[in-house]
Chain A
Amino acid sequence: MAKDNDILDEITSKEYEHGWTANIEMESAPKGLNEDIIRFISAKKQEPEWLLEWRLKAYRIWKEMKEPRWANVTYPEINYQDIIYYAAPKQKASPKSLDEVDPELLRTFERLGISLTEQKRLTGVAVDAVLDSVSVATTFKEKLAELGIIFCSFSEAVREHPELVRKYLGSVVPMTDNYFAALNSAVFSDGSFCYIPKGVRCPMELSTYFRINAANTGQFERTLIVADEGSYVSYLEGCTAPMRDEHQLHAAVVEIYVMKDAHVKYSTVQNWYPGDKEGKGGIYNFVTKRALCAGENSKVSWTQVETGSAITWKYPSCILKGDNSSGEFYSVAVTNNYQQADTGTKMVHIGKNTRSRIVSKGISAGRSQNSYRGQVHILKRATNARNFSQCDSLLMGDKCGAHTFPYIDVENNTSRVEHEATTSKIGEDQIFYCMQRGIDEESAVALIVNGYAKEVLNQLPMEFAVEAQKLLALTLEGSVG
């Protein structure tokens, strides 16, 4: 059996593919955080007074809060005064068309396989590309506008649709929610905004692509999606960062407001730089994502494929307020080397006949730690609420860890909650079986892991499912053999 361990020991994963840095002229704020920095950010973005006040209020709340340490992750103290809170590529204030966008910026995204130029774009996917603190370009805007769909950078939404932003900003994730949400509320720089009007089915995937490029910079973007009655949208988020020796902080907030009969599908393929094999560098990913199913029959599905980051702290949640509303959470989290992930979801059942479904698939390799943390809370009013949770862990080798922390809180006895959990090891006999058919070891592992994660991968839009499969294989490359 010593052999097994030897095999699994050789965790020499392929170098992170997106680890390069682009040479872009930047403009940034000085390091550190205080009210002046917040005024600086707000002024840079020419924000209205109310938003500045909102930020300052959040900052004051944040100052009084303590960083949460309950997650099953360990990391040295973060010096919040040693971070740059605003960095933006130097370019014309707001490019009217792609011709005005710095070609180096376009090339940056091109290298990531995201083409922002009109002809080459993936048809059927509109993209908002965010580099460090600002949105670089949004595609297909006009076409979407014909349907009344607003899809633009957050800054633009503040300028063009202040009434919508003001109404919904913080309505799902209040600034007081948690430490990182408060921090984000104070310093968020850009992000995406999306509004789908009543009865409109968005004809294409909307996607935001985040890229951290600058050194010593934190990324604090904010996404706000509002789905009006009877509307539908499928939204995808992707992200990468260069390889750097120091850790970089990413503290985003995603808020989704879902009205009656509306359905929002939000998919994430998270591929932040995870740090090197010794655990040096990598992104600290402390993210708050929440959807409010405000209206009857509303529905939210979260699908996440988490492969990157040194530390992931993330619990996409659903507040099921409307009667008959439903929430789903499908997750694959892979950790390798020294990565740590503490991720899961929170389903809060408030309305009657609300339903939630949780499918979590953890995969740990190397010396990584992978935790599922999930809460199902059924409130008194939630008659006939139902939840089903399935949490599976797959271990590769014996130096990694998988943990499950389910919290179940039921206040209504007509409800039904089911929880299933399994832990398995990737089998030597499975790998041998594949190899006996001529399949090489890496492909065998990829095949087995993708099979294991299939139920979740099936939830992703087609093009991204293929990407995600490759990414899973890449993350685990070298973890066996």
Chain B
Amino acid sequence: MTAAAWTERLRTGLWKDNPGLVQLLGLCPLLAVTSTFVNGLGLGIATLLVLTFSNALVSATRRLIRPEIRIPIYVVIIASLVTCAELIFKAWFPALDRSLGIFIPLIVTNCAIVARAEIFASRNPIGASIADGLGMGAGFALLLMALGAFRELVGQASLAGFSFADSGFLLAVLPPGAFFALALAVALKNHIDGKPGR
């Protein structure tokens, strides 16, 4: 793969086709864990790793696999990778693991991952699939961090645990705040891209 092709794939994931902002995939974890910056960062990194490895494995095995059994195979690959990610978090980032709780195992159900396996990795060579995984994963992770930072700042007047004031606007850390924050982010992206309302 050329450098230009890499840049293009990364740009697609990070901005143009951002899984959270444009494809609106994986919203359940996105909304649930973004109450703080650190949670967003933790789940973002875990998703990025799983997505990159699953793209690589799916692409590497794409010629061996008959179309009839591709979905069960994606499920086995993704479930194994998520289990590994969970064990690694438990071993090396126990505090983060406790605060993310069930959302690490739930990466398995993040449809952004199956979607990239089906749409991209099963039809493209391994290099491009890794680039796609990195780009999409980083796009998702950055969105999680941005939402987490925004909600923590507004809701608790703190960032990454450092507090600036006694209290914030509590709504931002409650579930509705997640929807407001995501809507603002989508609107901001459309505004920057110059798209009128669709």
- Co-assembled chains A and B: no
- Which residues on A are within 8 Å of B, measured CB to CB? none
